Amino acid sequence: MKNPAKIICFLFVLLGEIKAQDLIVKKDSTEIYCKIVYVNVKSLYYTISNDPNEIKIDKSDVLRFVFDWNQKKTPTATPTPVVVQNTVSSGEFIKLLISGAVAIPTGNFGSSDVNNNQSGLAMTGWMVNAGLGLKINKNIRVLGTYFYQDNPFDASSLDAGLAIAYPGPKFTSTAGHWLVNGVFGGLHVNLPIEDSKKTAVFIQYQMGFPKFTCPPIDTRIVYMGSILSTSIGSAEAKSFAYFMGLGASFKMAEEVSFQVSANLFGARPTFVDVVSKNSSGSSTKDTFSQKINSVNISIGLLIKLD
């Protein structure tokens, strides 16, 4: 058996070294015994035993840190170690999201088959999205955003389809746009990439009850010297809608990240009492539902708010 006196001396030395150390407690409850060498507004720098290299840790990951002043100086009385509770600026908790996208219609919404009464004849359009993200833990934010999407109606495909269905007359149509606008809410979840401080993959899901507007359509018909016309009025409806996707974010600076994502948008609003008229003076009112689906390829910025 080893000399007990040597073991006891060794333990006292070891305990002395531990006592002299500073302590960093991370938000995930990990404890780091170290020597804190530098602190600024956003980061801590520290060294650990037997390694002179400084290690950086973001203060956003730190719950608190403790200085042992016995290590800093030799006082005449034994001071109480100082505990510093980490405070994080509002920018760590609230971020501004601004994005724009190409909105590509899919399914029946993008179909140009005039013989299919579910066809939306929507063309590729655009979308903008702006809102705030509230941090609830390291990787999850609650989102509240304003969403606006615009898809033109394909009037030329309508004319071509009518010409095939009704040979002889010449059809000339003009039309408005399919519009969506409203407030959405949901979650944004970061999936950090190991060994990368600047890049992360994320998923998001939002839902809401936005307002939908169907396009007005006016068609002029020329046949055997006669000119006729029909018009279908615009209408508005509200409906449940979802917006979900997958993307990646790249930290450009301490306060700003660049994001790219692919998102699916879906809804099925019902438009009530849509008025149709013709040049003979007759009119009707119809009710119809339209599936509205698109793939939105988006780029944007995520900005910390101080």
Q: What is the CATH number of the domain that holds 193?
A: 2.40.160.20
Which of 6-15, 148-157, 245-254 comes out lowest in average pLDDT? Answer: 6-15
Q: What are phi and psi of 233, to 5 degrees?
A: -75, 165
DSSP codes, 122-184? B--EEEEEEEEEEESSSSEEEEEEEEEEEEEB-HHHHHHHHHHHS-SSEEEEEE-EEEEEEEE
* CA gap 19, 235 in Å, rounded: 74
Same domain, 172 and 48: no
Final residue before a domain boundary, out of 40, 58, 87: 87
171-214-151 Cα angle (round to 5): 85
The per-residue pLDDT for range 117-155, each reduced to its tens digit, is 899 999 999 999 999 999 888 889 999 999 999 999 999
Final residue before a domain boundary, out of 34, 62, 87: 87
Per-residue DSSP letter, 281:
S
Three-class SS state of 78? coil
CATH number at residue 58: 2.30.30
Same domain, 166 and 62: no
CA distances from 272 to 71, 111, 134, 281, 291 (A): 77, 22, 37, 21, 15
Same domain, 118 and 252: yes
- The pTM of this model reads 0.70
Same domain, 98 and 247: yes
Contact by Cβ (8 Å): 109, 269: no
Confidence of residue 232 (pLDDT cuts 50, 70, 90): very high
Same domain, 52 and 78: yes
Confidence of residue 27 (pLDDT cuts 50, 70, 90): confident
Domain hosting residue 53, numbered range: 4-87
Rounded to an integer, the average pLDDT of 224-228 is 90
Question: Higher-confidence residue: 19 or 298?
Answer: 298
Locate 223 and state its tokens. 């046949």
Same domain, 49 and 106: no
Final residue before a domain boundary, out of 87, 113, 128: 87
Same domain, 118 and 193: yes
How much is the pLDDT for 197? Answer: 74
- Residue 175 burial (CB count, 10 A): 20
Same domain, 15 and 141: no
231-233-238 Cα angle (round to 5): 155
Confidence of residue 91 (pLDDT cuts 50, 70, 90): very low
Confidence of residue 60 (pLDDT cuts 50, 70, 90): confident
Same domain, 121 and 183: yes
How much is the pLDDT for 301? Answer: 93
Contact by Cβ (8 Å): 46, 32: yes
Same domain, 53 and 199: no
Q: What are phi and psi of 288, to 5 degrees?
A: -150, 155
Same domain, 190 and 245: yes
The percent of residues above 90 in pLDDT, for the chain, comes to 56
Confidence of residue 36 (pLDDT cuts 50, 70, 90): confident
Q: What's the number of domains the chain is made of?
A: 2
User: Across the chain, what does the average pLDDT equal?
Assistant: 85
Same domain, 182 and 274: yes
* CA gap 42, 254 in Å, rounded: 9
How much is the pLDDT for 92? Answer: 56
